[in-house]
């Protein structure tokens, strides 16, 4: 598979028509792994790094799970291609900035990715739309076991899998969920949630944009500690926290509908109006409007089938995707025009909101 084929084909996240998940958009697990007796990528000489990359990429690409996927050195990708992969949550920003000697292997359906020579020799990642920790863990566990057949991992019985950064020691696992929490944001409860989650030893990040700039009310919640607890234990612990947050979000939605439905319907109705008629939309505004539409779908105001379209637009409204669709490099102001054009076309097809189901 070539990079352009991969970009053109539907990905796990941009084609999730089956996803009925109201709150959890995506489940992701990554494992940090390193080769025994080789310097970590940050300390290896360029020639060593390339050697390590070739060995890792060969082993990974040969796995049955990666059949007919993409295996490519990072330096052969242009900036826009890398940005698109970041926007699809397939690779990290850190890997984009890697000077040389790094690589990417992506499965055909874009649900398994291995980054080679990012911070660690191997960052294995599996992602799935929806709330699916069991399935994602089973997949990545198998992928890791299969890879172990061909690679001697750096492992210590006491410290577990050895990683470049001691914060990843032990299991090397980072399990995370991407959550859509508009009602918690609208009712100003997000700060409270963030604090509670932090106290449980987990991290919350706004997913699009840096830091807490959570445009689209989308947050990523993940475990922070990796040593002293089994993978299953870590996942179970996180799963419990996420389930609580889902409940909180659904309760907050009920509460909004009970106390001031008109205010909520007004937000959703206006979002629809702007998406159908706006001419200039930056990515932050587009995300926030799409977030309200997604909330509207969950409340029965728009048809269920629309959810997959919105989930796809969340990604396709990002700057890299907008430029790719328009086949060129564009200034932010020009991108706003292109984004508006795309959203108008997309929302011209959507039937007008019907608030009668949501109203009590």
Which residues of the chain form contacts with other proteins (CB under 8 A)?
34, 36-40, 42-43, 119, 141, 144-145, 148-149, 151-162, 164-167, 169-171, 173, 191, 194-195, 198-199, 201, 203-206, 210-212, 214, 219, 224-231, 233
Distance CA 247, CA 225 (A): 24
- Asked whether 255 and 280 are in contact (CB, 8 A), the reply is no
Q: Which is nearer to other proteins, 173 or 245 (CB)?
A: 173
Q: How far is the CB of 201 from other proteins (least distance, A)?
A: 5
Q: How far is the CB of 34 from other proteins (least distance, A)?
A: 6
Q: How far is the CB of 186 from other proteins (least distance, A)?
A: 17
Distance CA 217, CA 185 (A): 7
Q: How far is the CB of 94 from other proteins (least distance, A)?
A: 12
Report the run of H or E that residue 178 belongs to, with start and end. Answer: strand 173-180
Q: How far is the CB of 342 from other proteins (least distance, A)?
A: 29
DSSP assignment string, 46-79: HHHHHHHHHHHHHHHHTSGGGTT-EEEEGGGS-H
Q: Which is nearer to other proteins, 100 or 167 (CB)?
A: 167
Distance CA 184, CA 200 (A): 19
Q: Which of 82, 162, 85 is nearest to 121 (CA)?
A: 162
Q: Which is nearer to other proteins, 225 or 244 (CB)?
A: 225
3-class SS at 126?
strand
| Longest CA span, the chain | 67
Q: Which is nearer to other proteins, 43 or 279 (CB)?
A: 43
Count of CB atoms situated within 10 Å of the CB of 350: 17
Q: Which is nearer to other proteins, 22 or 207 (CB)?
A: 207
Q: Which is nearer to other proteins, 26 or 162 (CB)?
A: 162
Q: How far is the CB of 294 from other proteins (least distance, A)?
A: 21
Provide the terminal-to-terminal Cα distance of the chain, rounded to the nearest Å: 51
């Amino acid at each position: 598979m070539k990079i352009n084929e991969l970009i053109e084909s539907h990905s796990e996240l941009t084609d999730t028509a089956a996803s009925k998940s109201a709150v959890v958009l995506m489940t992701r697990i990554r494992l940090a792994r390193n080769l025994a007796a080789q310097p970590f990528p940050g300390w290896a000489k360029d020639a060593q790094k390339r050697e390590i990359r070739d060995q890792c990429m060969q082993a990974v690409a040969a796995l049955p799970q990666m059949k007919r996927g993409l295996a490519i050195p990072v330096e052969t990708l242009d900036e826009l291609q890398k940005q698109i992969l970041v926007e699809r949550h397939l690779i990290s920003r850190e890997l984009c900035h890697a000077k040389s000697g790094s690589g990417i292997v992506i499965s055909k359906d874009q649900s398994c990715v291995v980054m080679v020579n990012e911070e660690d020799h191997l960052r294995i990642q599996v992602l799935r739309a929806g709330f699916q920790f069991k399935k994602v863990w089973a997949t990545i566990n198998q992928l890791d076991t299969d890879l172990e057949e061909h690679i001697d991992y750096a492992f210590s019985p006491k410290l577990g899998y050895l990683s470049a950064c001691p914060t990843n020691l032990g299991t090397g696992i980072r399990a995370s969920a991407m959550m859509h929490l508009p009602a918690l944001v609208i009712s100003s409860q997000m700060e409270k949630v963030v604090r509670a989650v932090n106290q449980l030893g987990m991290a919350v990040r706004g997913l699009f944009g840096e830091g807490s700039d959570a445009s689209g009310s989308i947050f990523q919640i993940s475990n922070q500690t990796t040593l002293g607890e089994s993978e299953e234990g870590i996942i179970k612990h996180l799963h419990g926290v996420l389930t609580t947050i889902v409940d909180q979000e659904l309760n907050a939605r009920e509460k909004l509908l009970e106390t001031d439905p008109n205010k909520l319907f007004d937000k959703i109705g206006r979002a629809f109006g702007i998406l159908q008629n706006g001419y200039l939309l930056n990515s932050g505004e587009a995300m926030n409007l799409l977030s309200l539409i997604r909330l509207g779908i969950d409340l029965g105001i728009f048809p269920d089938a629309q959810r997959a379209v919105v989930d796809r637009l969340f990604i396709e409204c990002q700057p890299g995707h907008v430029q790719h669709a328009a086949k060129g490099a564009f200034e932010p102001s020009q991108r706003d025009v292109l984004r508006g054009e795309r959203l108008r076309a997309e929302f011209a097809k959507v039937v007008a909101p019907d608030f009668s189901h949501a109203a009590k």
